[in-house]
Copies of this chain bind each other. A is one copy, B any other.
């Protein structure tokens, strides 16, 4: 079995995607992060879900979670107020984590080795032009490797 057999299709975003839209994409798919692609569809980096949350929540909430308890507003309003008009590029940290990538013919053990080196439970599957054709999650990988 190879990477191409385990890869799933997942929504990705670009650097120009509004951050509000990115938060919705993240929420809509049950995945550990958002893959950011360049204009040619090649993976640039990955935005972890907690990072999106960190960028979206106003700092007064993060500094004092007890304060968040007493805010009399719908949570979504506060999230979207925090995001404002920023784009994905604005959410990316200065030190962008590299999104590991493998080819479709990589073995599962190779995918596991590549994923183990990163802190993100996602690996992109790319073609020979480095254009993303799918992604493999840690969960999908373990399911196949351990037969669960």
Closest CB-CB distance, A18 to chain B, in whole Å? Answer: 14
Query: What separation, in Å, do the CA atoms of A68 and B106 have in the docked complex?
Result: 9
Size band of the A side of the interface? 35 or more
Q: Assess whether B69 is in contact with A109, with CB atoms less than 8 Å apart.
A: yes
Query: What separation, in Å, do the CA atoms of A23 and B141 have in the docked complex?
Result: 12
Query: What separation, in Å, do the CA atoms of A84 and B120 have in the docked complex?
Result: 24
Q: A23-B142, A49-B138, A146-B79 are in contact. Are A62 and B30 (CB under 8 A)?
A: no
Q: Assess whether B32 is in contact with A32, with CB atoms less than 8 Å apart.
A: yes
Chain A, interface SS category: helix
Q: Assess whether A148 is in contact with B24, with CB atoms less than 8 Å apart.
A: yes
Question: Which one of B57, B108, B113 lies within 8 Å of A116 (CB-CB)?
Answer: B57
A112 at the interface (CB under 8 A from B): yes
Q: Assess whether A75 is in contact with B120, with CB atoms less than 8 Å apart.
A: no
Question: Which one of B57, B66, B109 lies within 8 Å of A78 (CB-CB)?
Answer: B109
Q: Other than A27-B143, A78-B109, A79-B146, give 10 A-B pairs with Cβ distance below 8 A.
A: A48-B121, A49-B139, A61-B113, A62-B113, A65-B114, A68-B109, A68-B112, A69-B109, A76-B145, A76-B147
